[in-house]
Amino acid sequence: MVLPSLDEESQITEFGTDQPEHKMKPINAAILMTVLGVVYGDIGTSPIYAFRATMGVVSNHHADLQRWEIFGIISLIFWALVLIVTVKYVMLVMRADHNGEGGILALMSLAQRVTKNTTGKVALGMVGIAGTCLFFGDGMITPAVSVLSAIEGLEVSLPSVQEFIVPMALIILFGLFCMQSKGTERIGKIFGPVMFLWFSTIGILGLLQVIQHPFVLVALSPYYAVSFVIHHEWMAFLALGSVVLAVTGAEALYADMGHFGRKPIGYAWVFFVLPALTLNYLGQGALVLTNPHALSNPFFYLAPHWFNIPLVILSTFATVIASQAGISGGFSLAKQLTQLGYFPRLRILHTNAHEEGQIYVPDVNHALMIGALLLIVSFRSSEALAAAYGIAVTGTFICTTTLSCVVFHKLYKWPAYKVAIIFGIFFCIDIPFFTANALKIPEGGWVPLLLGICLTIMMTSWNKGRNIIIKKRAQDAMPIASFLARLPQGKITRVSGTAIFMTPDPMSIPNSLIHNLRHNKVLHDHVLFVTIENLKQPEAEYGHRIAMRQLAPNIYQIIVRYGFMEMPNLPKVLELLKSQPQLDFFDPLQASYFTTREQIVPASIPKMSKWRMAIFMFMNRNASPVTDFLRIPADRVVELAVRVSI
């Protein structure tokens, strides 16, 4: 956003003392341990259910499993981990960072930035929103399937507890969601060590089986994966719907890149997580080959009988960590969508006075909790829930691949043939995975699809409604130049103090000022017009947080910039104005903040369809006040209502 020109003497000052975060994190044991706890919880708990679910698909077609078939399943899982996680995400997609940040919204922003035509920008925006909505579905299903699969391990040692599995999972998840308002700082400190213990344990359990049955190592050859697909065709296609469960959580590597950097995440994967997962899947395969009875729950049968209960406890901790990462990711994603204009302002609570990223969003937490609990009650087993899980994951994969094609071609100048070959291979992997899971829509795949469609409708309705209001506001607004020209002629009483008038459009006078003059007929000695500019990039550039200029004596125009991954704190940022000689008197906590509360009513000729209008008005009524979102003290706010017809 550029400040409008009033005259040649207008001088714009840009500044900001925010130090840019160093995205290249140092690689040491502490950072690698933290990466394990935050990034790899979801994909790290996949061995609990992924191999069992895939074997279940094959055994349902014929009970007499052959050795080469089990080798084929192990090979499919291993090469899915290598191609999707290692090659696609670690080696390629994670190179597409937006000022060091990752995630599908950052990728969408990059793709839109290098696309010239409006239609292309809109299409890419819809791809990004679709991927985001599916990611929300993933975040709702992850806690349910992860915790449920861990508790099911009790059946191995205590078959009589089967009827208590669902109630136990409900209690654990309810407690987890209730803890969110307390913040994750304390429990976060143990995430890394617990996940280190988890990966070490599952790797060792698998290694013990591999040592006893080394012949299973031949399953790492792609020959067995290809042979399985060629010989079984349709059944192999169905099996892909469960194989993809082994790579759930791959998107987290990219989404969390801004917190840790590309190299620590990549090193942790290549040198620790991937070997541990591979050993465990090999161990499960070797166990099933030698003990067909273990097919009912091969992960927990890997452990000696005396270690089963401790493994269930460790699994529960690991799945809670995986769930926590999904919940926290949902909070961050909701905040980012608000900044980008696709979601109304939500009530955001900060659970740590020193860490901006540690937030709690009550509405999102309640929605995820209700959804996760309903999923457990409805599906009652991790095997049944797996049908709902895969389609959310594979849909996000396709959206990421699509956006990556644009970024690598237009931003990184890859030739079209190179993009077509490399990402064409990933489309050939992602689309069969998605199609195989689409067959499960009647069995539960409809859950993330329905959620994604509903969220997409809500986001597009909100975005369209806000754009209509912005256009109407621009039509009815009084230009700043006109107001300043009339100001010396008007008989306006000036009162002591500083008034901050919030305005979404820096080119016009805010309605709150016009209403204040109309009713109170006074103007403060010092007046600041403040506009919040939400950037379509993760963070504001260093030194460009604030743009300021003087419009008239003691009247200033201020623009404050925030990226979509930043948390607004207007009083804190306005403290920077004290560094300017003409505003050294300014105290943002003593100023009066004037805002406008818009009452939306349908126009005589509505600009939106009735159903979209109903959705938009419902979301607008439930939006958090802008003053809460900007963390303005409530006792310094003067709110003036204005009716807007659309």
Tens-digit pLDDT profile for residues 398-457: 999 999 999 999 999 999 999 999 999 999 999 999 999 888 888 888 888 888 889 999
Q: Give the C-alpha separation, 16 to 547, whole Å.
A: 9
Residue 13 carries which side chain, given as an amino acid letter? T
Q: Give the C-alpha separation, 170 to 212, whole Å.
A: 38
pLDDT digits (tens, 9 = 90+) for 535-554: 888 888 878 889 888 888 88
Band of pLDDT at residue 325, cut at 50, 70 and 90:
confident
Residue 271 has pLDDT above 70, yes or no: yes
Q: Give the C-alpha separation, 40 to 252, whole Å.
A: 8
What pLDDT score does 348 carry? 80
Q: What is the pTM of this model?
A: 0.83
Q: Give the C-alpha separation, 502 to 630, whole Å.
A: 11
> Which pair of structure tokens corresponds to residue 158?
């205590």
Band of pLDDT at residue 488, cut at 50, 70 and 90:
low
pLDDT digits (tens, 9 = 90+) for 337-379: 888 888 888 888 776 655 555 678 888 889 899 988 998 998 8
Q: For residue 121, give every residue at least 6 positions away whose Cβ sits within 8 Å of its Cβ, in sequence order, or none.
A: 112, 115
Asked if 146 and 317 touch (Cβ cutoff 8 Å), the reply is no
Who has greater pLDDT, 547 or 34?
547
Band of pLDDT at residue 63, cut at 50, 70 and 90:
low
Residue 585 has pLDDT above 60, yes or no: yes
Mean pLDDT to the nearest integer, 300-326: 88
| DSSP assigned state of 477 | P
Asked if 203 and 279 touch (Cβ cutoff 8 Å), the reply is yes
> Which pair of structure tokens corresponds to residue 50?
């992924």
Residue 19 has pLDDT above 80, yes or no: no
> Which pair of structure tokens corresponds to residue 222?
């792609």
Residue 5 has pLDDT above 60, yes or no: no
Residue 71 has pLDDT above 50, yes or no: yes
Q: Of the ranges 205-214, 294-303, 380-389, 530-539, which is most confident?
A: 205-214
Mean pLDDT to the nearest integer, 611-627: 87
Q: Give the C-alpha separation, 313 to 168, whole Å.
A: 13
What pLDDT score does 183 carry? 63
Residue 107 has pLDDT above 70, yes or no: yes
Residue 634 carries which side chain, given as an amino acid letter? A
Mean pLDDT to the nearest integer, 504-521: 83
Q: Give the C-alpha separation, 90 to 262, whole Å.
A: 8
CA dihedral over 222, 226, 227, 228, signed as positive or negative: positive
Q: How many helices (H) and strands (E) does the chain have?
A: 26, 11
Residue 533 bridge partners (DSSP) = 561
pLDDT-wise least confident of 181-190, 262-271, 286-295: 181-190
Q: How do beta strands 592-601 and 637-645 pair?
A: parallel
What pLDDT score does 357 carry? 55
What pLDDT score does 414 carry? 93
Asked if 477 and 503 touch (Cβ cutoff 8 Å), the reply is no
Band of pLDDT at residue 3, cut at 50, 70 and 90:
low
Instruction: Give the residue from 200, 187, 205 showing the smallest Cα distance to 317.
Output: 187
Give SS3 for 39.
helix
Instruction: Give the residue from 340, 480, 468 showing the smallest Cα distance to 5.
Output: 480
- Encode burial over 12-26: b for 16+ CB neighbours within 10 A, e otherwise: eeeebebeeeeeebe
Q: Give the C-alpha separation, 520 to 500, whole Å.
A: 16
> Which pair of structure tokens corresponds to residue 624?
């958090």
Q: How buried is 198 (Cβ within 10 angstroms: 0-12 exposed, 13-18 middle, 19+ buried)?
A: buried
| DSSP assigned state of 510 | -
Residue 214 has pLDDT above 90, yes or no: yes
What pLDDT score does 25 carry? 53
**Residue 147: left (phi > 0), alpha (psi -120 to 50), or beta?**
alpha
